[in-house]
Amino acid sequence: MLRAIPATLMRGGTSKGLYFNVRDLPGDRGARDRVLLAAMGSPDVRQIDGMGGAHPLTSKVAVIGPATRADADVDYLFLQLAVDKPEVSDSQNCGNILAGVGPWAIENGFVPAAGPVTPVRIHMVNTGSIAVANVPTPNGAVEYEGDARIDGVPGAAAGISIDFLDVAGSSCGSLFPTGRVSERIDGVELTGIDNGMPVVILAAADFDVTGAEEPGELEANASLKARVEKIRLAMGPRMKLGDVSQKTVPKMSLVSRGRDGGHLNTRTFIPHRVHEAIGVLGAVSVATACAVPGTVAARIASRAVSAGLQRLEIEHPTGFFTVEMDVTSSGGEVRVNRSALIRTARKLMRGEIFVSSAAWAPT
């Protein structure tokens, strides 16, 4: 017998996924994961029997519910579902799917629309940090249409500005979790950083690539992938993430000088596929590294980045990502005062998804 579950299919930034109210999913984690895997159609490379799009960027889930802390309006748990494996990971945030949480929360009665723009304070459960999404709500309703454009998404939509509050070290405990802004593994200089997303930054040239290759070309390079993964596995414990062999963090970002006016050009392993763009919080972490002397990013950046409030342009395979940063340094201590950006979201479909009732049985 099939069981119907209320769900909304939304594009958030350059990703797409299913958004659920926590009350509509099993409370038992094992049962919840089985239900979500069935909903997406995993494990199957085509995800033909579910709503997934056969790519990690379209195999994502947002679970939203009442806030469990006083300084937030809603809780948001992000879950990354593997495409070809029965795996569900909560080891990271997703800033792209985050872009749809504010609109969803307003439309589902968690936050009342208030004026032309409604701020929604979102508790990102994965890391325990807060983001504030400023959602356009003219005439008392969410507005999805507008003139904001983000690279990696065709057309235009209403812009949603997102401020990240105190995300530095949210996964690893500190901005530079190894205690160094630069170090070497396997003869390669790198920087491990966590400003909302654990990222290892490496120079593309150290891997005999230019950094301008298409994602598919890098994915087809078996020796490159093996070398990057070896370093990723070594950096996991150093970044206080433990054994990361079954985790989706840290992300591995190969960087080179900006080619089209940006501060830096990126190609990011997420971790086994190469991102068609770059993740929101991954871009924030890379941009932050540009502003800290001694990092791989700062060394390679096309132009120097000074302290204080500024906009950084991070290039990726399908365009640019603009991050507004305010980073200061005093006495050798780096402080991130503000990280902000613009995303867009679109509601694609709302209704019910059908999953076998057997999946609901407790583990």
Three-point CA angle 155, 124, 8, nearest 5° = 50
Q: Which residues of 114-142 are buried (b: 16+ CB within 10 A; e: fewer)?
A: eeeebbbbbbbbbbebbbbbbbbbeeeeb
The mean pLDDT of 167-177, rounded to a whole number, is 94
For residues 241 and 249, the answer to whether their CB atoms sit within 8 Å is: yes
Residues 180 and 191: their CA atoms lie apart, in Å, by 8
The mean pLDDT of 332-355, rounded to a whole number, is 92
Largest CA distance in the chain: 64
CATH 3.10.310.10 fits 2-159+345-360, yes or no: yes
State yes or no: pLDDT of 334 exceeds 90: no
Confidence class for position 175, pLDDT limits 50, 70, 90: very high
The residues spanned by each domain of the chain are 2-159+345-360, 183-337
State yes or no: pLDDT of 76 exceeds 90: yes
Mean pLDDT score of the chain, rounded to an integer? 95
Tens digits of residue pLDDT in 216-255: 999 999 999 999 999 999 999 999 999 999 999 999 999 9
The mean pLDDT of 151-166, rounded to a whole number, is 94
Query: Right CATH number for 183-337 from 3.40.50.410, 3.30.70.260, 3.10.310.10, 3.40.50.300?
Result: 3.10.310.10
The mean pLDDT of 166-179, rounded to a whole number, is 94
**Amino acid code (one letter) for 53:** G
Tell me what pLDDT residue 305 has.
Answer: 76
The mean pLDDT of 319-348, rounded to a whole number, is 88
Tell me what pLDDT residue 319 has.
Answer: 94
Question: Cis ω on the peptide bond leading into residue 271 (within 30° of 0)?
Answer: yes
Three-point CA angle 62, 278, 11, nearest 5° = 35
State yes or no: pLDDT of 309 exceeds 80: no
Tell me what pLDDT residue 297 has.
Answer: 97
State yes or no: pLDDT of 327 exceeds 90: no
Residues 65 and 178: their CA atoms lie apart, in Å, by 34
Tens digits of residue pLDDT in 83-93: 999 999 999 99
State yes or no: pLDDT of 362 exceeds 70: yes
Tell me what pLDDT residue 311 has.
Answer: 85
Tens digits of residue pLDDT in 187-205: 999 999 999 999 999 999 9
Tell me what pLDDT residue 296 has.
Answer: 98
- Those residues whose C-beta lies under 8 Å from the C-beta of residue 145, and which sit 6 or more positions away, are 156, 157, 158
The mean pLDDT of 139-153, rounded to a whole number, is 95
Tell me what pLDDT residue 304 has.
Answer: 75
Do the domains 2-159+345-360 and 183-337 sit in the same CATH topology, yes or no? Answer: yes
Tell me what pLDDT residue 335 has.
Answer: 86
State yes or no: pLDDT of 307 exceeds 70: no
Look at 39-48, 228-237, 313-322, 330-339 and tell me which has the smallest mean pLDDT.
330-339
Tell me what pLDDT residue 328 has.
Answer: 85
Q: Which residues of 215-251 are buried (b: 16+ CB within 10 A; e: fewer)?
A: beebeebeebbebbbebbeebbebbbbeebeebbbbb
Residues 257 and 190: their CA atoms lie apart, in Å, by 15
